Structure 1
Amino acid sequence: MHPKIKAAGVISLLACLVMLLGACSGPSNQGKANPEPTAGISSAPAAPITIQHLKGEFKLEKVPERIVVLDVQYADELLALGKKPIGSVVAGTDNAVPEYLGDQMDNVTLIGTYEEPNVEAVVSLNPDLIIGTEFHDKIYEDLQKIAPTLMLERNEDWKTVMLKLGKIIDQPEKAQQLIDEYNQKVSDLKAALADKMKGQTVALIRPRDKMIRIQNTAHRTSQILYDDLGLTPPPMAVNSSETSSMISIEVLPELGADHIFLLQDDTNKELTAEFQSTSLWKNLSAVKDNQVYAENTAQWIGYYGPIAINLIIDQIADALN
């Protein structure tokens, strides 16, 4: 054989072997260089995250690892998504985390109240994302100097917030799954209550300031009762613009609710007992029919995240089923 022909054959064979080896090993090498994201472990998104918030467009270049929340509801939402914040404000005046979250808030640094978060404590945590609300407008510039700060409307629909947070921490499918599961749960309970609650009204009230606050249909918790579950509000509670209205105990009989969810806590325990001792209260049809259900104010009003809201649905089911 001619030497040139022989050399050409060897080169051709080598080239084939190189191509064959590359085809076999390529995916494995590629997997090592660019591993698939592991569940629960953050990775940089394919492109910067852009989300609308109270200050316009909010952009992040990568998934944040160290998140501080200035409202407890965002701790609830993040935990539901499998992400624990490194810092959170406390719940109410007890300087504590919400009881219903249990040990899920272990090792989370407490940084004051949502009305007065401790900015120095936030600095010490070295966050790469801060989540606040319009209540923090006065310190927004200070927060921005610490880390990118997402400003959300405090009463924004929790599902909308879930989708935003899911996008931010690279868990959009999980966020949608939580919403879908809630919708199914609500749909099932709505169907179960439809016949039983037909023609009956349900009110949500809270004794306060020597009066009684009615949570109107515009209130976000009332919307769970009336919009999500399709329950009927008493006419006095129908208001699309004001979230609540105040009435005296003397006016309470005019509410005419067949069922009453009574919000109470340490701040209104004495007032509630005072009202319950009156003949006006005792003669309410809901009281006579044993259809008044005492619930925790903070859980129903303040902790507006999917973990708390699913507990509220369970409590409504226990009361009305």
Structure 2
Amino acid sequence: MNKKILVLFMAVLLAVFTAACGSGSNSAAPSQTPEASNGAAKESEEITIKHKLGEAKLKKNPQNVVVFDYGVLDSLDKLGIEVKGVAQSSIPPYLEKFKDAKYTNIGSLKEPDFEKINAMKPDVIFISGRQQDAYEELNKIAPTIFLGVDTTKYMESFTENMKTLGTIFGKEAQVDEELAKINDSIKQLNEKATASGKNALIVLVNEGKLSAYGPGSRFGILHDVFGFAAVDKNIEVSTHGQSVSAEYVAEKDPDYLFVVDRGVISGNQGVSAAAKEAVENDLVKNTKAFKNGNIIYLDANYWYLSGGGLVSTANMADEILKDIKW
């Protein structure tokens, strides 16, 4: 009898020990699911981005993002991507939320605050033409990517920049969707502009002085992409445009006169008095553009300050579609 009890006791003890071992193995950290493993791999995946000034190696989905270019900033905002540092001094009204103290002010568009940026230890820095001279120093702090638009091939360059952002942040499908919408608006605009057979001139007004821009220039998208024939195909291509006078505008006699008022950037609301005075004088009042109500003041926040972004480029096309008299 005692032998049977002993055997039974040993059997029960063995069962308890086996169960305990099984439970212990289950309590260890569970292995990742294939989906979780793929997600983790993507987070740590290192990519190489080639750009105009060199190449940058960084991990996908960087979290600590510094942005100087407002076109890139409006694109990241549109894609729902958080940034940590921005150049706050000249931020256009449509991006005013980035003036909040939760964003680090990284200096002005022309003068980066290297000390602040270095202290942030960013994962990536996005720049464009205004910061080009600071590239080498910024690139010592963090991978720095130039995403300025090449105005000689505006849409190709813009599209490439947006797809680069899609690749970096895993937003390829959303970028393609936004680009499709923009291309649709531009197609409508181009068809109307081409069918009208009318020509155009675009000028920048700065402190009462006029500068004209033609195809391939800073504002050449008006001709090269939107489809407006240039009233003068020989305008000098430069960042600051070709200095012109009211006599020049009157002589060229454009069907449409588009005006970018830099005074708006200086804090004026609407069209500045200096721009009105410089543009709508007695000489220009003799042009077809004035007589037919086709002097169009463009939003300088999109055309002068940002441009090349998912929001700015869309609005540049849409405001002309909305405001122009065909």
TM category, shorter: 0.7 to 0.9
**Closer, same or farther in 2 for the Cα pair 1:220/1:175, shift >3 Å?**
farther
Which runs of 5 or more residues in structure 2 are unaligned? 1-30, 152-156
Q: Structure 2 vs 1, CA of residues 138 and 277 (structure 1 numbering), >3 Å: closer, same or farther?
A: closer
TM-score by length of 2: 0.75
Distance 1:139 1:248 in 2: 35
Which of 285, 290, 293 is matched with 1:287 structurally? 290
Corresponding residue for residue 14 of structure 2: none
Within the alignment, does 1:188 sit opposite 2:188 as a pair? Answer: yes
The answer to whether the 8 A contact 2:87-2:109 is kept is yes
Q: Which amino acid aligns with 1:269?
A: S
Q: Distance in 2 between matches of 1:189 and 1:153?
A: 24
Equivalent residue number for residue 43 of structure 2: 44
Equivalents in 1 of 2:186, 2:149: separation in Å?
23
Question: Is the contact between residue 79 and residue 104 of structure 1 (CA under 8 Å) also seen in structure 2?
Answer: no
Q: Distance in 1 between matches of 2:249 and 2:53?
A: 42
Find the counterpart in structure 2 of residue 207 from structure 1. Answer: 205
How far has the Cα of 1:75 moved from its partner? Answer: 0.8
CA contact (8 A) 1:50 1:60 kept: yes
Q: Is the 8 A contact 2:46 2:59 kept in 1?
A: yes
201 and 138 in structure 1: CA distance in 2 versus 1, 3 angstrom threshold: closer
CA–CA separation in structure 2 for the residues paired with 1:289 and 1:32: 62
Q: Percent identity?
A: 25
CA distance in 1, matches of 2:67, 2:32: 40
Cα-Cα RMSD: 2.9
Structure 1 length as normaliser, TM-score? Answer: 0.76
Aligned to 1:258: 255
Q: 1:66 maps to which residue?
A: 64
Q: Which amino acid aligns with 2:228?
A: L
Cα deviation, residue 125, structure 1:
2.5
Aligned partners of 1:82, 1:315: CA distance in 2, in Å?
24
* Corresponding position of 2:84: 86
C-alpha distance in structure 1 between counterparts of 2:118 and 2:315, whole Å: 34
* Structure 1: segments with no counterpart, 5+ residues: 1-27
Using the alignment, how far apart are the partners of 1:66 and 1:262 within structure 2? Answer: 38
* Alignment correspondent of 2:97: 103
Distance in 2, Cα, partners of 1:272 & 1:116 = 28
Bigger mean CA deviation after superposition, 303-312 or 101-110: 101-110
Query: CA contact under 8 A between 1:166 and 1:172: conserved in structure 2?
Result: yes
1:179 is aligned to 179
Q: Deviations over 1:2-38 (max 9, x none)?
A: xxxxxxxxxxxxxxxxxxxxxxxxxx9625743758x
Matched, 1:246 2:240: no
For residues 195-234 of structure 1, what are the structure 2 equivalents within 5 Å? 195=195, 197=196, 199-208=197-206, 210-223=208-221, 225-234=222-231
Please name the residue that 2:117 is paired with. 122
Q: Distance in 1 between matches of 2:129 and 2:289?
A: 38
SS at match of 2:95: helix
Cα 1:32–1:182 shift into 2, 3 Å: closer
Letter in 2 for 1:309: T
Paired position in structure 1 for 2:312: 308
Equivalent-residue separation in structure 1 for 2:106 and 2:183 (angstroms)? 34
**8 Å Cα contact 2:46-2:57 kept in structure 1:** yes
Q: CA deviation at 1:176?
A: 2.2
Contact 2:214-2:233 at 8 Å conserved across structures: yes
Alignment of 1:151 onto 2:146: yes
CA contact (8 A) 1:84 1:105 kept: no
Select the structure of larger CA radius of gyration: 2
Residues 65-86 of structure 1: CA deviation (Å, up to 9, x unaligned): 1110122222122222221321
Q: Is the 8 A contact 2:92 2:305 kept in 1?
A: no
User: Residue 159 of structure 2 aligns to which amino acid in structure 1?
Assistant: K
User: Is the 8 Å Cα contact of residues 100 and 308 (structure 1) preserved in structure 2?
Assistant: no
Separation (CA, whole Å) in 2 of partners of 1:269 and 1:314: 22
The separation in 2 between residues aligned to 1:130 and 1:44, in whole angstroms, is 18
The count of residues paired between Structure 1 and Structure 2 equals 281
**Cα distance, 1:303 vs. partner?**
0.8
Q: Give SS of 1:310's match.
A: helix
Give CA deviations for 1:127-150 in whole Å, capped at 9, x if unaligned: 111112354455444423432222
**Aligned equivalents of 1:200 and 1:137: distance in 2?**
37
Counterpart mapping for 1:16-35 below 5 A: 30-31=33-34, 33-34=36-37
1:15 aligned partner:
none
Distance 1:210-1:64 versus aligned 2 partners, 3 A rule: same
Deviation, structure 1 residue 218 = 1.2
